[in-house]
Chains A and B, each alone.
Chain A
């Protein structure tokens, strides 16, 4: 009967739908079932069979489990498009949820949770309540997940009906699978909630660790992932936890192993005994190595994670470098990652072996891999001083085999080696010069030219060599031109004879008059002026000693590394990016304001296509500047796109109910908020005035910029750069500002990202910004980072948790300050005003003539800030006290509060 289902795909006659309709209403069970299968087949190939909704739903009441499942499947797909008709199915669902067969009870609850129609959700509550307490563990485990589904649709409903408490009770269930699913559901709800829902106490911890032994492999993953958030109280507890988790390292399931590794690494931070740590490192090595015999995709995930682990704890795999040697049949993405780890593990002890491997790889056939192998040799040389000479001799051997791309890659890395060990290996320059005419890649050419310029005094025919490149100067890529320019200047300074003098004339002429590359022109002018005013000074500048470069193979910032290690096995650990940089959906969508269309568009754009959003402010600003200068000749901006951009293609639109958002183009400038402070006055900026401020919109930090051009020039090619700062603020994309005509202005919102370029030292609010364009010099100005732009929308705290957190923090974490210029005119408006800045009201009391307000906020990286404001209404001067795990932020916080309360 079953099987050979492919025949159901083959009905493509005309009038298919009416035919199916007839068959669905047939009185013969078999025919009915076949018809439903045909409907599902049509659905599978993407035909719209939603018009058959009523007929399919009519088949729902059946004893046949297979048929029932098919109808349910149909419902999951089409209920959203037919919400009114979906209600027809509710009765059967409710009835099925009381069926004597536990499979059907579970099926009903599971399916109802998948139908995201409000009307159905209401009816889901009662069956769910029953199923959570069902006698059958299969039903309970399904119901546990269903709570998470419901929370995703309607969080309030879940809280009102007390499902969370029932779910918490399931942690103590006697069935391990129910426990595992309850943990998974709770962990997910916690992730999406601002309130503490699923707190792991030492009691739950020990209960869950016991459950680990009985769980299915997947259940173990759920539990380990949830427990990895737990912070042990002291070293003893940490050791205890680790001891109970270590057996999981022997599991055949790679996800269990990685989650166990994650948990052990977290707890190791607390363990002080060196012996215990060393022992743990020893235990973790073999399971990690074993992951490399899994499927290539899993190997890749493992390698990306190992890359992080060896950065944190190099000892774990220090003796295992051999297992990272590439195999012949490894896929290329695995080979590349292995190379990366080999460089990280290379040490004086194993470098000979490693070099032999690299040399072997450098003679393979895959070009990208070969290049990376050559580069790896160079990185080893830079990393290991004692091995540098051996690395260089390997590179020289490779150059001798005369494979073009190998030679070029080798020259690029040798340039870096020269910078790392100046005045040590110059004897090989002669060998390098032999391959001069085979170079055709810009980077290799630029490197070679740099070497010639840098060591011009040691190369007898340096001038001839450079001259041969000069002939094609105008055609060369910018990178090569820049190096040629510098090298010629160096040559001239080192050998001020007639030949070089002529060359420099040619180059400077080419680089100032003939070119339209501003970088090149700028550099040429600087050299020119230097040479013409003071050749000695030129020597001091151009031939100054260069700082020695260092090894970049341990490139991740320690705080970022820790964050990534807490996310082992997840996407974040594979991308090597913190989750907030790619998880786009804002946590609390409920605070979204409907009238703020612009903000809506930004959010939708972010979740579906980031590149589109980046363009968005640009499009807006272009059109506004066009409008403003009607009549004047504006060739550049009038050609800019003014038609509305194509709607975002939303693939899942039907399912998750997002309407395709069309971004309003002619957004009034008012929506950008109040006037911005001027940071670069036009007197300093040669007519360019820049006003800017950091703002928070819909959970995202933006740099709101206003550029006004009062100069006589057309300005274009705007770029922006932020210096390292306390919070690592950086631009999330390029600055999208089109050509700025004289006497026009433009506004833009530049999306910002956090924790990119962290500056060390105590927190401060300084933000150094550089803006450049093609016509003017680079402008530098300073801005302040107001702390409140980081306050997230989910900073609201309940009174009880506020008290608990307050008590839990030691008194040394409390800092107070009198804000002299701040004033509270009315309690209510102040509360309202602060709430818009995500500082939330918790409680208030009165003390003598003063009011005391307790408020909460959540700072960067989710740091809670507990605030106490004491003031007399209408009288200037507010006493502000803050208690937080990071008291070093207090000065910044007071600044922010003073600003907010002004």
Chain B
């Protein structure tokens, strides 16, 4: 049975129920994958309504709106349309907005952000659109009709997270990349977009790969790709082009994974020595970035100036503004730990986290070979 939930509860950290909505009683052997995914999407929806925040205050301040949304996004335990774009057409109460609250999201090692452009996007008008219901249920359940922009623009961001494990001697033990392509669309009408990938995706038949002339080493193998629901999967399977009618505004077009052929732009060699109970010597030799190293809880003070200890996240933060190629930088720090009465806990050896920006070139070089944009019936371009 695809039913995924019998009720939804909003709890705070203490476990008090803030709001609940009961849809039905027993659901038996429910589809849990569907249930968890629904919850994740629902939270994204609420955040989109409340302008980013989703905490106890936001919930209390918007309880009427939440009830209204809960009624719409799930019926008798079956998830319905959760697309914010469409719901905003007819559930028009505006959420109470707060300044965007950024949680310390911990990516594993490096985060490359490429050609990022800030751009705020307009909220749809507050007037309900008369044919809202047709759009909720339409084949393109994520885009409303009648959009018009004077300037038609598309932005593509590629965000990659590289997960790397090195031995103490500096050889790479494990390395993989998970990337996502974020798209921001401001296009009129019902555009049909096509995106061609310069790759040899592992899903192709091997014969096809062999028959294709080898390019000059610029191709890279994507282990797997997954697409936003707007992408026509059957067509991708047969023609290998990503074709889609995009939602308006920002969305995650696709995700991919790479394990082979990842070139690392940096090399980091940390040495950490525990000097007795309360001292820690940290030496890091590296190459171009901002970088954080997690320290034991008790750490409170570091001697050098070029790097800072950030107490809020328990980290030693080292910022490097520019890092030209073929160069090296070294940081050394000594950390004094508060001596505690209790026995010293073993250090968990957390990973070093790096964040960097890198313009115009992705580590994976999945450069787009084509970017077609065709329009449907007569909207001015």
Total contacts A to B, CB within 8 angstroms? 239
A518 within 8 A of B: no
CB pair A142–B75 under 8 Å, yes or no, is: yes
**Interface residue range, chain A:** 35 or more
B234 smallest CB distance to A (angstroms): 5
Given contacts A103-B132, A247-B236, contact A138 B137 (CB under 8 A): yes
Q: Is the CB of A253 within 8 A of B60?
A: no
Q: Which of B92-106 contact A (CB under 8 A)?
A: 93-96, 106
Interface on chain B toward A: helix, strand, loop, or mixed SS? mixed
Residues of B close to A364: CB separation below 8 A: 348
Question: What's the minimum C-beta distance from A219 to chain B, rounded to whole angstroms?
Answer: 9
Residue of A nearest to B17 (CB): A46
* Interface presence of B306 (CB below 8 A): no
For A2-20 the 0/1 string (1 means CB < 8 A from B) is 1111101100000000000
Give A22-42 interface residues, CB cut-off 8 Å to B: 37, 40-41
Q: Is the CB of B24 within 8 A of A5?
A: no
Q: Give A637-676 as 1s and 0s: 1 = Cβ < 8 Å from B's Cβ atoms.
A: 0000000000000001001100000000000000000000
Known: A216-B141, A287-B224. A297 touches B36 (CB 8 A): yes
- Which A residue sits closest to B37, measured CB to CB? A255
* Stretch of B76-84, B151-159, B273-281 at the chain-chain interface: B76-84
Interface residues of A in 570-591 (CB under 8 A from B): 570-572, 574, 579, 582-585
Q: Cβ of A176 < 8 Å from any Cβ of B?
A: yes
CA distance A9 to B60 in the complex (A): 8
| B161–chain A nearest beta-carbon distance, Å | 9
Given known contacts A136-B133, A213-B234, A214-B139, A6 and B68 CB-to-CB distance under 8 angstroms: no
Q: From known contacts A6-B61, A221-B31, infer whether A188 and B3 are also in contact, taking CB-CB under 8 Å.
A: yes
Chain A: which residue is nearest B140 at the CB level? A214
Residues from 51 to 88 in B contacting A, C-beta threshold 8 Å: 57, 60-65, 67-68, 71, 75-76, 78-82
Decide if A251 touches B32 in the complex (CB within 8 Å): no
Q: A5-B63, A69-B71, A113-B76 are in contact. Are A298 and B40 (CB under 8 A)?
A: yes
Does B237 contact A246, Cβ atoms closer than 8 Å? yes
CB-contacts of A240-264 with B (<8 A):
246-248, 250-255, 257-259
Taking CB atoms, residues of chain A closer than 8 Å to B223 are 286, 289
- The docked-state distance in angstroms from the alpha carbon of A562 to that of B107 is 38
> Which B residues touch A226, using CB under 8 A?
2
**Does A602 make an interface contact (CB < 8 A)?**
no
Asked if B32 and A569 sit within 8 Å, CB to CB, the answer is: yes
The answer to whether the Cβ of B163 comes within 8 Å of any Cβ in the partner chain is: yes
| A290 pairs with B255, CB closer than 8 A | yes
Give the Cβ gap from A330 to chain B, nearest Cβ, in Å.
Answer: 10
Chain B residues with CB below 8 A from A188, complex form: 1, 3
A40-B64, A138-B137, A142-B75 known; A253+B37 contact, CB < 8 A: yes
Contact B224 A66 (CB under 8 A): no
Q: Is B229 part of the binding interface, using a Cβ–Cβ cutoff of 8 Å?
A: yes
- The CA-CA distance from A51 to B231 in the complex, in Å, is 52
Chain B positions within 8 Å of A141 at CB level? 80, 137
Let me know if B32 and A40 touch, CB within 8 A: no
Contacts of A175 in B (CB 8 A): 137-138
Could you tell me the distance between the alpha carbons of A289 and B4 in the complex, rounded to whole angstroms? 23
Partner of B226, one of A69, A70, A250, A569: A250
Contact B226 A290 (CB under 8 A): yes
Interface readout for B246-260 with A: 1 if CB under 8 Å, 0 if not? 000000101101010
Please determine whether A3 and B133 come into contact, CB atoms closer than 8 angstroms: no
Residue of B nearest to A573 (CB): B32
Q: Are A252 and B229 in contact (CB under 8 A)?
A: yes
- Knowing A138-B136, A214-B139, A289-B224, the reply to whether A572 touches B29 (Cβ < 8 A) is yes
For chain A, residues 314 to 339, give those with C-beta under 8 angstroms from any C-beta of chain B: 322-323, 325, 327-329
Chain A positions within 8 Å of B36 at CB level: 254, 295, 297-298, 301
**Which chain A residues lie closer than 8 Å to B365 at the CB level?**
none
State whether A585 and B345 are in contact (beta carbons under 8 Å apart), knowing that A247-B236, A287-B224, A301-B36 are contacts in the complex: no
Contacting pair B28 A585 (CB below 8 A): yes
**In the bound complex, what is the Cα–Cα distance between A298 and B43 (angstroms)?**
15
Interface contact B64-A66, CB-CB below 8 Å: yes
Given A137-B137, A247-B236, A255-B37, also A218-B31 (CB < 8 A): no
User: Can you give 6 contacting A-B residue pairs, CB < 8 Å?
Assistant: A213-B234, A217-B229, A246-B237, A250-B233, A290-B226, A607-B26
- Report which A residues bind B (CB closer than 8 A): 2-6, 8-9, 37, 40-41, 44, 46, 66, 69-70, 73, 102-103, 106-107, 110, 113-114, 136-139, 141-142, 145-146, 148-149, 152, 175-178, 181, 184, 187-188, 191, 213-214, 216-218, 221-222, 225-226, 246-248, 250-255, 257-259, 283, 286-287, 289-290, 293, 295, 297-298, 301-302, 305, 322-323, 325, 327-329, 364-365, 567, 569-572, 574, 579, 582-585, 607, 652, 655-656
